[in-house]
Amino acid sequence: MKKLLLLPVLVTTLVLTSAFIPQNYEIGKERNSNFSENIQSVIEIESSMVSTEEKMEEKKPEEKKFIKWIEFNPSYQILGRVQKAHVKLVSKGITDIGSCEILAYLALKNSNRFNIKADTKNLSKLMKELESGNRESIDKYEDNKYFKYYVESYHAVLDGIIDAKSGTIIGFHPIAKGFWHTGYSDFGNSRTYGFKRRHLGHDLYGGVGTPIISMESGTITELGWNRYGGWRVGIRSEDTKRYYYYAHLRKDHPYPAHLKIGDKVEAGQVIGYLGQTGYSSKENVNMKTKAHLHFGMQIIFDKSQEDGNGEIWIDVYNICKFLSANKAKVVKDTETKEYSRVI
């Protein structure tokens, strides 16, 4: 610290100056006394500054610890087998090891590079051990930091899709039952409208007006026009860990007329209609592309990740494939032309 380095120079100067003043001269004595007092004052001031800085360092808030990134890689086949294994464990009275814990175990085994053949083999081996009462294979990872990371990550992704307690499927595919659609794994592909960026979602192509379904329950936080997504709906999950983005909805009639920001929606509820709007600062304009739903899922552990460079978007292709067997059945009201779920 520069101020501390100056102190020896100041002390030396003061001592040398006092040496040239006669010691029997009263004024000299007074000056020597003043010099001593000044030196003491400087030392006290410097000590006070050091103490203050140390206290400031001590009071510096610790950096928040939360997950900054997730790479969600399990295939839809593995998701299906893990979910069934979860249900089976519950039926055997094992309720503290679920889909997320099993996936975390497999991720440790495969270094997060999922492979259907190898993972199915590891899953079968684990299930035989657990069903025989041997928990050692999974319990030994209880304090492993990577295991904890995977468990927390998978819960953040899947808790609105697979019930953490029972293992049953509670999430719905974003396209209603009985309506055709197609798509491929397109997460990360390049997009150039407005600025160059990665495609942070999954496009599901279908017919204009196809009912769009809320994957899980939550609150509508975004509704209306966006120059990139066109007519869109944004839904935040009840536990606030997930944000679902449904974009490029139908021109003129993008979603049920009664919907508004702040509304609570249920899993399986109709929240929009497939279209091709967007890529325009002017509202209600169709893109020059095939009609499709852009569906995205954002994972949020901290408020700082809601918007900006800290956002976490995951590849939802395999989640959608996994949920293909759980689609909401809908019916059309002939008067209002609106669709609603048949329960």
pLDDT, position 27 = 37
Alpha helices in the chain (DSSP H): 2-19, 26-59, 76-91, 99-110, 116-131, 136-139, 145-158, 317-322
pLDDT, position 15 = 38
DSSP-derived secondary structure for 250-271 = PSS--S-TT--TT-EE-TT-EE
| pLDDT, mean of residues 216-245 | 98
Q: How confident is the model at residue 92 (pLDDT cuts 50, 70, 90)?
A: very high
CA–CA gap between residue 241 and residue 307 (Å, rounded): 14
| pLDDT, mean of residues 316-336 | 97
pLDDT 10s digits, 131-143? 999 999 999 999 9
pLDDT over 70 for what percent of the chain? 81
Which residue in 239, 234, 91, 40 sits closest to 158, CA to CA?
239
Q: How confident is the model at residue 49 (pLDDT cuts 50, 70, 90)?
A: low
pTM exceeds 0.85: no
| pLDDT, mean of residues 163-172 | 98
| pLDDT, mean of residues 300-312 | 96
Which residue is listed with tokens 């041997």?
Answer: 134
Q: Which of 36-50, 83-97, 184-198 has the highest mean pLDDT?
A: 83-97
CA–CA gap between residue 18 and residue 167 (Å, rounded): 86
pLDDT, position 23 = 40
- Tokens, residue 95: 């309720």
pLDDT, position 190 = 78
Of 109-123, 180-194, 235-249, 299-313, the poorest mean pLDDT is in: 180-194
Q: Is 138 helix (H, G, I), strand (E, B) or coil?
A: helix
pLDDT score of 17 more than 70: no
pLDDT, position 62 = 74
Which residue in 38, 100, 98 sits closest to 72, CA to CA?
100
- Enclosing H/E stretch for 147: helix 145-158
Exposed/middle/buried for residue 179 (C-beta within 10 Å: 0-12, 13-18, 19+): middle
Residues near 312 by beta carbon (within 8 Å), at least 6 away in sequence: 67, 68, 69, 70, 298, 299, 300, 301, 305
Of 58-67, 146-155, 215-224, 247-256, the poorest mean pLDDT is in: 58-67
CA–CA gap between residue 253 and residue 270 (Å, rounded): 13
The rounded mean pLDDT for the chain is 87
Per the model's pLDDT, the better-predicted residue between 13 and 64 turns out to be 64
298 φ, ψ (degrees, to nearest 5)? -105, 135
Q: To the nearest 10°, the Cα dihedral for 293, 203, 120, 142?
A: -80
CATH architecture entry for 181-341: Distorted Sandwich (2.70)
Q: Is 325 helix (H, G, I), strand (E, B) or coil?
A: helix
CA–CA gap between residue 253 and residue 274 (Å, rounded): 10
Residue 303, Cβ neighbours under 10 Å: how many? 10
- Tokens, residue 89: 């464990």
Q: How confident is the model at residue 35 (pLDDT cuts 50, 70, 90)?
A: very low
pLDDT score of 97 more than 80: yes
CA–CA gap between residue 215 and residue 144 (Å, rounded): 32
| pLDDT, mean of residues 115-137 | 97
pLDDT score of 284 more than 50: yes
